[in-house]
Structure 1
Amino acid sequence: MPPPPADLRLLDGVRIVAFATFLIGPAAVQYLADMGADVIKIEEPSRGPHERHWAGAGTFVNGVSAFFLMSNRNMRSVAIDLKSDAGRAAALDLCAGADVVVSNFRPEVMTRLGLDYATLSARKPDLIYASASGFGVESPYRHLPGQDLILQSMTGLAAMTGPAGAPIAAGAAVVDQHAAALLAMGILAALHHRQATGEGQQLETTMVQAALDLQSEAYALHLNGAKLARPERTLATAYHEAPYGFYAVSDGYIALSMSPIARISEALGGPPELAPYLDPTTAFSQRQEIADALAPLLTRFTRDDLLALLREHGIWCAPVNDYAEALEDPIVEWLDPVAGFTHPQAGEVRVVKHPITYGTGSFAVRQVPAELGEHTREVLAEAGYTDERIDALAREGVVRVV
């Protein structure tokens, strides 16, 4: 049987105009662009948005931000000065031809620009208007910045991560990325609803909701009476039974997940140190004592030897990998999660690819992250603007054309 096609376009025919910056907005619409939607990203014309000029660890590939390269593929760049009347008029024209408008600007910005849902839906009633922000359009915190560490801090994630002591942040922008996925999911649901009913609608996700959603399990326990406290050492959460945590071995660390201590004891040959803890009813009430008794027994093993032994006994465990080790793990190699493309300035670029597989095909990198304003002329022409009018707007600094 031949392999499925390598350019799957499940959202072919859907047009999205995105006022998207930083991570949530670009990541959300990139999911949809990968799926085949025509995503038009509106960008500030003089320098472009933040993500073109910043990258974590100062990582620029031949002068191009790795952060930008990671979350701006398969979309078209239109550079418009939204502070000008002519620029706002052009943006309105583009929105009138869109199925979906996406914004993660601060809530008041789109209203000030006359690009809010009430204004746009009056012109196009079946429009889907999707927004993401730190705290919500109408919330008392709407004026505050929404940023990953801030939301991890405010929602308990940092306070409840790792062993007791100072707060610990997740090692990635988990709130941003989860909020992006939720926003994309909401847009897909709204598109399905519109197909069935003809109705457009406004939808919103917030970083605070995303951060709470990430912690649904812990909050369900807290809300229903659990007294949660971070463990002193070794254990990974406030609510799992032992041995759930990280344990040192002679050449690194392993993770032990949800497995009975009796089974672990059997795998280790029945050490007397574990004999008092074989009763499964003590796995939570004495979890710190169990972890403290178990930890010294594992340090004589190499990581690979211990993993092999534990897996033979059906014990849930894993190596603690750094990024280089993770990419060499057989399961990651099998998944082939890295996409490569050639960028005209950056050259060869490697990023994590679209995270879903489909039996009917796969998603291609159809458009590398675009040069600022690369598609301004093309998109405005599709909206009915003549070359003469586009050239005039460019001379006035209202748009940037390439």
Structure 2
Amino acid sequence: MARLEPLREPPRALEGLKVVELPCLDTMPFLAASMAAKSFADFGAEVVKVEPPRTGSMERVLGPFRDEMPDPETGGLHLYLNTNKLGVTIDLENRRGRELALDLLAPADIVFNPNRPELNEKLGIDWRTLTARFPKLIVVSITFFGAESPYRNLRGGDLVATHMSGVGYETPWHQVTDPSNQPPLKPGGRQSDYLTGYTAAAAAMCALFSRLTNGAGQHVDVGQWFSMISMIRPNLGFYSHETPDSPSFQRLSTRRKMAAQWVYPCKDGWVSFSAGTDRFWRGAKKAMGNPEWMDSELFDTSLGRAAHIDAIEAGAIDWLSTRTRAEVFEKAQAEHVPCFPVYSPAEAAGTEQYKARKFFIDLEHPAAREVRMPGAPCKFTRTPWRIVRGAPMLGEHNQKILGERIGRSDAALAELAAAGII
């Protein structure tokens, strides 16, 4: 009888790439490099995450924690941002530690460095030094304002990038009716950190493709401020090409609601509901039961509806106030009208849509036990996204990487550990 070979998992998209993630040494958390490196690790690249000894990376202390008991091994951000990574501890502010880090970079394809230029230059890990020493290495600087910006050594962060980019200025979108009492807001969490991380990952992939043609590494300069500006690209066109009295320019300048708002109150919360085009208007009429007020000739054209949006919104809210989010969603979707319920994170995690797509995954972790977290951002059929290991314990792979790979002896590692260098 023929012997059946065990089924092998298909390869992942980025297998064979070697990535190093350096720690952010600023006292203010900056998670962009962790997000960028995760993007590579979860698609198969080998990512070695360098953390400061004893304390570890910033995300370890930010939580949320199971049962609200702080533990650097079980924080939710750490568990999510560091899946599939190998973890080592190195004190980059120590000369011998930097020698270890440079040995780690020698075979690497990409390094993500989230530190400000003045600190990198002081430590000798700035992009000019690294690209000169490792000509094939792709050095990705992830800073607040750009490694070569006039603001290069200023501290920024999520709040600063959000508002300097204009994202905060127009948050909430199409909702502001009283600007003096509805100031600009910042989106929840550290969204600009994660967006900057994805921007850095995408830029690093472009540099990898470039290296396929010329064999050379390069410096990739990613700024948090500029990454956030990329979220509102139309605004750059408005400011540079529209006249100051144009509707688009006026809306950006005043923050005032000048068209249909994006979300509306309903019986048990809020829904996003749009009926701007002729097709959506006809669908909305059916979904709402063909009320008489919608037959008014004032609403026959898109221009007419725009001119009388207050009346339309009053009628829509009157109908929405008697229905739940689920009812509105089902009725609108049945008529192909753009609509979605506004959910809390806990509610979103339990929706049928995410269940059907198997978006959330359950992962066993030696310290945190079972953890549920977001899964694949996109799905590949032949080279799938896959979690093969949970987030590393602090210094878990020092022996494997610093010892076996770099060649430090057990005695040398013990001495480095005793000195607080690893």
TM-score, normalised to structure 1's length? 0.88
- Residue deviations 1:317-336 (CA, integer Å, cap 9, x gap): 12222223222322111111
Change (3 A) 1:143 1:376: same
Q: Distance in 1 between matches of 2:118 and 2:68?
A: 32
> What is the CA distance between 1:132 and its match in structure 2?
0.9
1:133 Cα offset (Å): 1.2
Instruction: Give the aligned partner of residue 373 of structure 1.
Output: 395
Give 1:302 deviation, angstroms: 3.4
Please say if 1:351 is aligned against 2:361. Answer: no
Residue 366 of structure 1: CA displacement? 2.0
* Inter-CA distance 91–362: structure 2 relative to 1 (3 Å threshold): same
Match for residue 41 of structure 1 among 46, 49, 74? 49
Partner residue in 1 for 2:127: 117
Structure 1 residues 32 and 59, CA, compared in 2 at 3 Å: closer, same or farther? farther
Q: Confirm or deny: 8 A CA contact 1:248 1:295 kept in the other structure.
A: yes
CA distance in 2, matches of 1:85, 1:361: 40
1:138 has 2:148 as partner: yes
Of stretches 92-101 and 259-268 in structure 1, the one that deviates more from structure 2 is 259-268
Q: Which amino acid aligns with 1:50?
A: M
Would you say 1:31 and 2:51 are equivalent positions?
no
**Contact map agreement 1:161 1:168 (CA 8 A) in 2:** yes
Cα deviation, 1:64-101, whole Å, max 9, x if unaligned, reads 21111110111111111222221111111111221111
In the TM superposition, residue 391 of structure 1 has moved relative to its aligned partner by: 2.6
1:272 matched to 2:293: yes
SS of residue matched to 1:341: strand
Tell me by how many angstroms 1:273 deviates: 6.2
Q: Deviations over 1:215-265 (max 9, x none)?
A: 123443343322243799xxx9957x53x4222222332211354374233
Q: Is the contact made by 1:108 and 1:137 (CA closer than 8 Å) also made in structure 2?
A: no
Q: Which amino acid aligns with 2:377?
A: P
8 Å contact from structure 1 (residues 255, 318) kept in 2: yes
- Select between 140-149 and 92-101 the one with higher mean Cα deviation: 140-149
**Offset from partner CA, 1:22-54 (integer Å, 9 cap, x none):** 311111101101111111111111211221122
Q: Structure 2 counterpart of 1:135, which letter? A: F
Provide closer, same or farther for how the CA distance between residues 292 and 229 of structure 1 changes in structure 2, counting only shifts above 3 A.
Answer: farther
Q: Which amino acid aligns with 2:124?
A: G
291-300 or 364-373: bigger deviation: 291-300
Q: For residue 150 of structure 1, what is the aligned residue in structure 2?
A: 160
- 1:89 and 1:197 map into 2 onto residues whose CA distance is 29
Unaligned runs of 5+ in 1: none
Would the alpha carbon gap of residues 60 and 16 (structure 1) be closer, same or farther in structure 2, given more than 3 Å must change?
farther
Conservation of the 8 A alpha-carbon contact between 2:165 and 2:226: no
Equivalent AA in structure 2 for residue 271 of structure 1: E
The answer to whether the 8 A contact 2:131-2:219 is kept is no
Aligned with residue 386 of structure 2, among 339, 361, 364: 364
* Contact 2:142 2:222 (8 Å CA) reproduced: yes
Partner of 1:55: 63
Structure 1 letter corresponding to 2:301: D
Aligned residue number for residue 348 of structure 2: 326
Identify if the C-alpha distance between structure 1 residues 135 and 166 changes in structure 2 by more than 3 Å, giving closer, same or farther.
Answer: same
Question: Would you say the 8 A contact 1:230–1:238 is kept in 2?
Answer: no
One-letter code of the match for 1:306?
A: V
1:384 aligned residue (402, 407, 416): 407
Opposite residue 80 of structure 1, the aligned amino acid is I
- Counterpart position of 2:320: 298
Aligned length, in residue pairs? 391
Query: Unaligned stretches of 5+ in structure 2?
Result: 1-6, 25-29, 177-181, 243-247
The residue identity in structure 1 corresponding to 2:313 is: A
Judged with a 3 Å threshold, the aligned counterparts in structure 2 of structure 1 residues 238 and 103 are, in CA distance, closer, same or farther, namely farther
Residue identity matched to 1:290 = I
CA contact (8 A) 1:79 1:373 kept: yes
Q: Which runs of 4+ in 1 moved over 6 A?
A: none
What is the alpha-carbon distance in structure 2 between the residues aligned to residue 69 and residue 123 of structure 1?
A: 33
1:19 alignment counterpart: 22
- 2:105 equivalent in structure 1: 95
| Bigger Cα displacement from structure 2, 75-84 vs 295-304 | 295-304
Structure-2 separation of matches of 1:271 and 1:320: 28
Q: When the two structures are superposed, what TM-score results if normalisation uses the length of structure 2?
A: 0.84
Partner secondary structure for residue 194 of structure 2: helix
Measured in 1, the distance between the counterparts of 2:256 and 2:39 equals 31
CA distance in 1, matches of 2:299, 2:124: 65
Shift of 1:267: 4.0
CA distance in 1, matches of 2:49, 2:31: 13
Aligned to 2:193: 176
Q: What is the Cα deviation at residue 179 of structure 1?
A: 1.0
Give the 3 Å change call, closer, same or farther, for CA 199–61 of structure 1 in structure 2.
farther
CA distance 1:60–1:9, shift in 2 (3 Å): farther
Distance 1:230 1:257 in 2: 21
| Percent identity over paired residues | 27
Aligned counterparts, 1:190-229, within 5 A: 190-225=207-242, 226-229=248-251
Deviations 1:285-326 (A, max 9, x none): 443443234322332233333333333332221222222322
Q: Deviations over 1:348-375 (max 9, x none)?
A: 1111123120011423322211111111
